[in-house]
Amino acid sequence: MAASASPTLRTPSLRTSLLSSFSSKLPLPSAFSVNLRPRSVGAPRFVVLVSASLNAKPTVLVAEKLGEAGLDLLKEFANVDCSYNLSPEELCTKISLCDALIVRSGTKVSREVFESSGGRLKVVGRAGVGIDNVDLAAATEHGCLVVNAPTANTVAAAEHGIALLTAMARNVAQADASVKAGKWQRNKYVGVSLVGKTLAVMGFGKVGSEVARRAKGLGMHVIAHDPYAPADRARAIGVELVGFDEAIATADFLSLHMPLTPATSKILNDENFAKMKKGVRIVNVARGGVIDEEALVRALDAGIVAQAALDVFTVEPPPKDSKLIQHENVTVTPHLGASTMEAQEGVAVEIAEAVVGALKGELAATAVNAPMVPAEVLTELKPFVELAEKLGRLAVQLVAGGSGVKTVKVTYASSRAPDDLDTRLLRAMITKGLIEPISSVFVNLVNADFTAKQRGLRITEERVIIDGSPEKPLEYIQVQIANVESKFASAISDSGEIKVEGLVKDGVPHLTKVGSFEVDVSLEGSIILCRQVDQPGMIGKVGSILGEENVNVSFMSVGRIAPRKQAVMAIGVDEQPSKESLKRIGDVPAIEEFVFLKL
Ligand SMILES: NC(=O)c1ccc[n+]([C@@H]2O[C@H](COP(=O)([O-])OP(=O)(O)OC[C@H]3O[C@@H](n4cnc5c(N)ncnc54)[C@H](O)[C@@H]3O)[C@@H](O)[C@H]2O)c1
Ligand SMILES: O=C(O)[C@H](O)COP(=O)(O)O
C-alpha cells in the first residue's frame, strides 16, 4: 500500500464544472461490479462549454448582424460563423455544429433549435433585451444558458420612444410624405402639444424610466404603471405609480415599455381601449404582441385612439397590406429602437463578453435562466459546491437497484444566519450528483431544478444553526435519501434513511459520516466502504490486496460503534481496483459488506 499518497487528480475549475456536462452517462455502479468507466471529475471527460483544454476552439454562430467590436472579441476566443438570414431549417441544421448562438430579435430560437443541437449548444446570447424570441423553457430543459445584453440599448430605445412621441404629435412622418408628394397641407397637419399633457408609462423598467425622465423634460405630467417597480424609484424622478385602469383612463399619451409575457400579451385590447380617454395617443417601442392589433385598428377607426406610433409588431416584418400599417393615423418604424451606432456597438460588446464568459464556464451576470451569483460568493462556496456534488453522487450510489429515489433531504449546518447563505448552487450540484450517475441526462446549474422536478425528485433543504466559525459559510452538509433500500446497509441511519455527511477541511471536501458511522476520508478519486467486525489487521489485509494490484490508497479511516464491535472502514483509492481485487476484499472473513463508489 502506498501510504497516504497525495491525490493527483485535478478538479476542473468550479466555474467550468457548474455549466459543464459529461460526454457520456453511466449506469448506477453496483457494489460488485467493476465494469465501470471512470467518471472522475478529474479526468478530461467534461464536455466543457469550451473544450479549450482539448485544444478545440468553440464555434459561435452569429445569426444576425452584430457590431464589429463584439465580433472581434468573439474571434479572439472562438471560431465565428456569421450566417445571416438563415431559414429555420438551415438554423436547425447548422446548430449541431455550434457551441453558442447569438441572435437579435429577428431569429426564433425555438424548441426545435435546441433539439437539433444534439446537446452541443451551451449558450444562446440575445444581443439585446427582449428574450421573447427564445424558447426559454426548452433552453432550460436542454441545460442551455441564455444570456442577454440588457443595458446597452436602453437609452437608444428611450430616445426612439421620444422620437416617435414627438413625431406623432406633430405629424412629422405624414407631413414629410405629403411635401415629398408635391403637396403643401399646412392645415391638415396641425399637431397637438405635449407640454402639460399626461403621459402614462406602462412598464417602469430601464427604458420606461428613461422615457419618463425625458418626458418630464418636455413638460409632461408623467404617471406610470408597473406592478413590480418600487414606488421610491418612481418618486425619485417625480413619477407617480398608479394602477392599470387609472393609467389608461387618465392618459393623453400611453407609452408601452413592458416585456411580452403571457400576462402582457394583447393587454391593450377592445375592453381596455374602451376605458381610455377619447383621442388618446399610443407609442409602442416594447413588443408588438402587447397590443391586439386588430382591436387597435378598430379603436383608431372609432376615434378612441387618435394616433399610434409603432416600432414593433406582432409579426415582423408585418404584412404589406396590414390595415394597421397603412392607417393614416399610424406612424411606423421597422423595429429601430435599439438601432443607433452607439447602442449596436455596446450591445455587441456586452453580448460577446457574456457569451465568451459563459463558454469559459463563468456564471453570467446577465443569465436569464440561471441563478446569478456574485463572484465573491462563488469563491467562498467553491469547495462546498464540490462537496455538495460528491455527497449527492455518493448517496445515490448507495441506493439499492430498483429502489427509486424520490425524496432527498439536504441539511446545511452553519453558524451564519439563514439568509446569509445562497444554497441554489449547492442544491443544483447535489441534484447533479444525485441524477447523473443514474441517468443519461446531464445536469448543470441551468437545468438542475427542472430536471429534478421532471424526474419526480423532491429535494427539501433545511438550515441548522450551530456554533462555528463565522468565516466559514458552512460547517457541514448532510444528504439523506428517504424510503429506499441501500446496497450498503450500514449507510442507513438510525432514522431509516441513507445518510452521508461531509465537510471541507483545508479547502478539500471530506466524507465524515456514513449512516451512523463516523469516518474521515477526503473525497477524491474513489472510495471503498467496508463494514467489518472491528479487529486488528483489517487495514493491513485490505491495504495489501489493493497494494498487490498497485492501487494507490490515498486515505483510510475507521469509524466504529465500540471497540471490537462493528466498524466502517472508508478507503480512498486513486485507481479503480479490478473485479478480482474487489472480490478478494469481499472474501476477507471479517468483512460483512462492502461497496465501491465512484466520485
Ligand atoms: N424597440 C426596440 O428596439 C427595443 C429596444 C429595447 C427594449 N425593447 C423592449 O422594451 C421593453 C422594456 O425593456 P427594458 O429594458 O426596459 O426592460 P425592463 O425589464 O428593464 O423593464 C420592463 C418593466 O416592465 C415591467 N412589467 C412587467 N410586467 C408588467 C405589466 N404586466 N404591466 C406593467 N409593467 C410590467 C417590469 O416590472 C419592468 O419594470 C421590452 O419589451 C424590450 O424587449 C425594445
Ligand atoms: O429587445 C430589444 O433589445 C430590442 O427589441 C432590440 O431588438 P434588436 O436587437 O432586434 O434590434
CA–centroid distance, 286 to ligand 1, in Å, is 6
CA of 98 to the centre of ligand 2 (A): 23
Q: Which ligand is nearest to the CA of 312?
A: 1
Strands (E), 131-271: 145-148, 198-202, 221-225, 240-241, 253-256
414 has which bridge partners? 465
User: Are both 510 and 548 inside the same structural domain?
Assistant: no
Same domain, 81 and 211: no
In a domain, 386, yes or no: yes
Examine residue 18 and state whether it is found in any structural domain, yes or no.
no
Domain annotation covers residue 4: no
Ligand 1, CB within 6 Å, residue ranges: 129-130, 150, 153-154, 157, 202-208, 225-229, 257-260, 263-264, 285-287, 311-312, 335, 337-338
For residue 509, give the 3-state DSSP assignment. strand
Ligand 2 in reach of 61 Cβ (< 6 A): no
101 shares a domain with 166: no
Is 104 a pocket residue for ligand 2 (Cβ < 6 Å)?
A: yes
What is the CATH classification number for the domain harbouring 548? 3.30.70.260
- Can you give the pLDDT at residue 539? 80
* Distance, CA of 575 to chain centre: 35
- Pair (250, 376) in one structural domain: no
How many A from CA of 127 to the centre of ligand 2?
7
C-beta 148 within 6 A of ligand 2: no
452 and 586 in one domain?
no
Q: Which of 387, 465, 468 is nearest to 427 (CA)?
A: 387
- Return the ligand 1 atom nearest residue 228 CA: 37
CA–centroid distance for 138 within its chain: 12
* Residue 130 neighbours by CB distance under 10 Å: 18
Q: Which ligand is nearest to the CA of 204?
A: 1
What is the Cα–Cα distance from 38 to 191, expressed in whole angstroms? 75
| Residue from 346, 338, 293 nearest 318 by CA | 293
Query: Which atom of ligand 2 lies closest to the CA of 336?
Result: 11
Nearest CA, atom 11, ligand 2: 338
Domain span at residue 411 reads 372-514
How many angstroms separate the alpha carbon of residue 513 from the centre of ligand 2?
53
Domain end (from 451, 479, 514) = 514
Q: Residue 123's pLDDT is what? A: 96
pTM, full prediction: 0.74
Residues 418 and 507 in one domain: yes
159 CA distance to ligand 2 middle (Å): 14
Domain boundary pick from 514, 531, 563: 514
Q: Are residues 103 and 72 in the same domain?
A: yes
Ligand 2 neighbour 129 (Cβ under 6 A):
yes
Contact 7, 555 (CB under 8 A): no
- Residue 103 CB less than 6 A away from ligand 2: no
In a shared domain, residues 350 and 382? no
We report the CATH number of the domain holding residue 121 as 3.40.50.720
Same domain, 166 and 311: yes
Residues in the chain: 599
Q: Are 443 and 533 in a shared domain?
A: no
Q: Is the CB of 373 under 6 A from ligand 2?
A: no
| C-alpha–C-alpha distance, residues 298 and 110, integer Å | 32
- Give the span between the Cα atoms of 324 and 330, in whole angstroms: 7
Query: How many A from CA of 212 to the centre of ligand 2?
Result: 20
Write the residue with the smallest CA distance to atom 40 of ligand 1: 259
Whether 364 maps to a domain, the answer reads: no
CA distance linking residue 163 with residue 151, whole number of Å? 20
Domain count, the chain: 4
Evaluate whether residue 34 is within a structural domain.
no
The closest ligand to the CA of 284 turns out to be 1
Considering the domain architecture, whether residues 225 and 106 belong to the same structural domain is answered as no
Given 478, 498, 514, the domain boundary residue is: 514
Task: Evaluate: CB of 127 within 6 angstroms of ligand 2.
Answer: yes
Q: Identify the residue whose C-alpha is closest to ligand 1 atom 8.
A: 286
Active site amino acids: 287, 316, 335
> How many angstroms does the Cα of residue 347 sit away from the middle of ligand 1?
16
Instruction: Give the CATH number of the domain where residue 407 resides.
Output: 3.30.1330.90
* Residue-by-residue pLDDT tens, the chain, 599 positions: 333 332 222 233 444 445 543 222 222 222 222 222 222 222 222 222 323 333 589 999 999 999 999 999 999 999 999 999 999 999 999 999 999 999 999 999 999 999 999 999 999 999 999 999 999 989 988 989 999 999 999 999 999 999 999 999 999 999 999 999 999 999 999 999 999 999 999 999 999 999 999 999 999 999 999 988 888 889 999 999 999 999 999 999 999 999 998 889 999 999 999 999 999 999 999 999 999 999 999 999 999 999 999 999 999 999 999 999 999 999 999 999 999 999 999 999 999 999 999 998 776 778 888 876 666 777 888 899 999 999 999 999 999 876 678 899 999 999 988 777 888 889 999 999 999 888 777 788 888 888 898 888 999 999 999 998 888 899 999 999 999 999 899 999 999 999 999 999 999 999 999 998 999 999 988 999 999 887 778 788 888 899 998 888 888 888 776 666 778 888 999 888 998 999 999 888 889 999 999 88
Cβ(161) – ligand 2 distance below 6 Å: no
Q: What are phi and psi of 270, to 5 degrees?
A: -50, -45
Tell me, yes or no, whether 89 and 120 share the same domain. yes
Does residue 324 lie in a domain region?
Answer: yes
In this prediction, the answer to ipTM > 0.95 reads: yes
The whole-number pLDDT of residue 306 equals 98
Kindly tell me the burial class for residue 211, based on how many C-beta atoms sit within 10 Å of its own C-beta (0-12, 13-18, 19 or more). buried
All three cell numbers of 298, joined, read 378598430
- The answer to the question of residue 350 being in a domain is yes
- pLDDT in the model for residue 496: 92
Residue 128, in any domain of the structure: yes
